[in-house]
Amino acid sequence: MCPDCYDYPAHVLWHAYAGRLWKAFTDNLYNHLAARVGRTRAGLRRNLRISYAKVAEYQRRAAVHVHAVVRLDGARGPDDPPPAWATADVLAAVVRTAAAAVRLATPYIAALGEHELCWGAELDARPLRAFGSGEGLADDAVAAYVAKYVTKGATDTGAGLDHQITNPDDITAAPVSAHVRALMRTCWRLGSLAELEPLRLRAWAHTLGYRGHILTKSHAYSTTYTALRAERADHQSRGTQPADEADVLTDAHWRYVGSGHTPAAALLAAGIAEDLARNREIAQEEIAYNGAISGD
């Protein structure tokens, strides 16, 4: 990458507006699908619902891209099949046109001008076959595909830091690449502009201006987070002890019993320390001896 050629402000602004770009894309899906099948948007929504789950991932160049599973459901949700005409191929085609149509203009700023933001041309839309029928991926494979990007380590990507930056010195000391550091500094600099104050770029400098969550989903894609929290609370209130093993005892009390080596381990450690010290002495003697020879 060429640091002098790279448009760092545009990169940061794209991150800051990525949530609005996704919202514009999902809105476009209904419009483009309605136009493709010859229905009104209101009429379409009475018979069909678009659900999705998406994962945001930082590429090595520190730009966020999205992996998403988009699904057509019936009007009542995931358990209601969509109309017969709402096929995966139709949805894949609409995803392409809906993404290509997104255009978002940033407010004009004297220091930056005006930017038109859009999705990139690197779009891959493929039908996924549930239950492994035909070509495509089964449900388990889809779940593994999404989980792969949720759990992908920051060291594998160009992500920033896991904590907020409070001053420019934090950027200088950050254990990141020069490119990521330049993006953080751009966030900090643009955050001082009054026109961009609503974006709170300094508060999000550690994520390079990206303000969204790594994993998001539409309300009806699957179970809700509220339901998951309720299940977890109920599980914790009932405890984890099996009903048919009531006689199992659980020790919930802990006490400190000491630290350090056991007597046997202490002897081993002392022997290892003695060997290391002897090796250092031998190395120093060899260095001194070789230096004396070269001096003669």
CA distance 178 to 211: 22
Return the beta strands (E) in the chain as ranges. Answer: 48-58, 64-74, 104-105, 116-117, 215-217
| Structure confidence at residue 78 as a pLDDT band (50, 70, 90) | confident
Q: How far apart are CA 105 and CA 14, in angstroms?
A: 11
Greater model confidence, 140 or 68: 68
Inter-axis angle of helices 18-37 and 8-16, to 10 degrees?
60
pLDDT band at 287; cut points 50, 70, 90: confident
In this prediction, residues 7-14 reach a mean pLDDT of: 93
**Whole-number Å distance between alpha carbons of 35 and 51:** 19
Is 50 exceeded by the pLDDT of residue 127?
yes
Q: What is the pLDDT of residue 142?
A: 64
**Range of lowest pLDDT (66-75, 117-126, 149-158, 284-293):** 149-158
Give the other-Cβ count within 10 Å of 169's Cβ: 9
Closest CA to 60 of 122, 153, 127: 153
Tokens of 185: 């500094």
For the segment 64-79, the average pLDDT, to the nearest whole number, is 86
Pairing of the two strands 116-117 and 104-105: antiparallel
pLDDT of residue 286: 75
Q: For residues 148 and 50, is the Cβ–Cβ distance under 8 A?
A: no
Q: How far is CA 67 from the centre of its chain?
A: 10
Q: State the Rg of the chain over Cα.
A: 29
pLDDT score for 223: 67
| Predicted local distance difference test score (pLDDT) of residue 248 | 59
Using CA atoms, how far apart are residues 187 and 202, in angstroms rounded to an integer? 6
Q: Which residue has the higher pLDDT, 81 or 95?
A: 95
Q: Kindly tell me if the per-residue pLDDT of 185 is higher than 50.
A: yes
Question: Are residues 180 and 158 in contact, defined by beta-carbon separation less than 8 angstroms?
Answer: yes
Q: What is the pLDDT of residues 86-124, one digit of tens each?
A: 888 899 999 999 999 999 999 888 888 899 999 988 898
Q: How confident is the model at residue 242 (pLDDT cuts 50, 70, 90)?
A: low
Confidence of residue 188 (pLDDT cuts 50, 70, 90): very high
Please calculate the CA angle 108-102-141 and round it to the nearest 5 degrees. Answer: 135
pLDDT mean across residues, the chain: 81
User: Helix or strand or coil: residue 129?
Assistant: coil
Average of per-residue pLDDT across 119-134: 74
Residues 18, 47 contacting (CB under 8 angstroms): no
**Contact by Cβ (8 Å): 73, 48:** yes
Helix or strand (DSSP H, E) at 108: none
Burial class (CB in 10 A: 0-12, 13-18, 19+), 194: exposed
Q: Angle 218-220-225 (CA atoms, 0-180°, nearest 5)?
A: 75
pLDDT of residue 105: 92
State the pLDDT at residue 253: 67
The angle formed by the CA atoms of residues 213, 217 and 38, to the nearest 5 degrees, is: 130
Least confident of 106-115, 144-153, 243-252: 243-252
The pLDDT of residue 167 is above 70: yes
What is the pLDDT at residue 136?
A: 46
Two tokens, residue 144:
């593994």
**What is the distance between the alpha carbons of residues 124 and 264, in angstroms, rounded to a whole number?**
61
